[in-house]
Amino acid sequence: MFNTDYNNVTNNVGVLDAVGEFHASPEVNVWFGRFLPPSDRANLYGPFYANQWGVYTDGIQDGYPFVFQGRDNGVVYWGDFKAGVVKLKVSAGAFDGASATSNTSVIWAARAQLDFWDPETGYYLNGTYYGDKNLLAIAGATQIQNGNTATTADFLMERKAMHGGAVTIESEYANYNRLGGYNANYAKSEGAYGLASVLFPKQVGIGKIEVLGKFALAQFTHGIVPSEGASNPSYRQRTTEANLSYIIKQFDARVMAFGRTTSFNGVQKDFWEAGVGLQLQISKQIPLK
């Protein structure tokens, strides 16, 4: 697997995934190279396969350390197992600490996920399946470097509804303890969010309508950089988002109108954002001879 991504900040194209893959069975798979390490669902679905528009803005989702776009360089084992009606997905690996955190110690990463309804096969995940699956998934993930930890627990429930629609609930709790996080001036942060969406079954033109709401609360503590002779004070971030989406071809073609408010009880200034986003994806498989 190899793909690239354009960075609009540096105006450069960077290597997104460059992976050598070994697959012996659904239970035994090994990847090595650059890819997403075991982490939270939000990192493993990325911005292009998320249900919401404003991903990675809440102080909670995917605060894990990375080299580029959530990726790091390393090796991972992962496997899909089935025990009766319950499906288990596990992954564990070792990753380059120096590139991600400037600490030369290895970053150890692991994730375990239980699927109680339909399975999610493979390594990468989605934030929604737009009614293609009935999902009830609970997972936990952690990364450790020199005793510092980043740990999350995530939940996704999606149910087919109304003969062509879907109801989705997603949530996550995150605790970044001197590893990762959103604000480099603070050693620790933790928080949680809840998200709910409804995809209406009625076809409107060439697509379907989806409404989505999200609320998140994050706490930042243990300020580590002096500010005007004093330690940075702790503060809370509150994020509320609403989306009205027109789903034409799931992740390959969708239009989203979004609004988001972000407020703080100190340190930073409140702000809001609103707009309309368009996502188009065109892919083509080229067989190797």
User: What are 190-232's pLDDT values in tens digits?
Assistant: 999 999 999 999 999 999 999 999 999 999 999 986 655 556 8
Global pTM value: 0.90
224-227: Cβ within 8 A, 24+ apart: 224/185, 224/186, 224/187, 225/184, 225/185
The pLDDT assigned to 188 comes to: 96
Q: What are the chain's domains? A: 2-280 (2.40.160.10)
**For residue 2, what are the CA distances in angstroms to 20, 124, 145, 211, 288?**
9, 14, 27, 34, 13
CA separation for the pair 164, 7 (Å, rounded): 37
From 125, 132, 139, 195, select the one nearest 159 (Cα to Cα): 132
Tokens representing 161?
A: 């509804």
The pLDDT assigned to 284 comes to: 62
Helix, strand, or coil here: 269? coil
Residues (pLDDT < 50) of the chain are 288
Q: In the chain, which ranges are continuous DSSP H helix?
A: 41-45, 97-101
Q: Are 115 and 122 in contact (CB under 8 A)?
A: no
From 38, 119, 113, 103, select the one nearest 71 (Cα to Cα): 38
Q: What is the DSSP letter of 185?
A: T
Q: Are 74 and 93 in contact (CB under 8 A)?
A: yes
CA separation for the pair 161, 167 (Å, rounded): 7
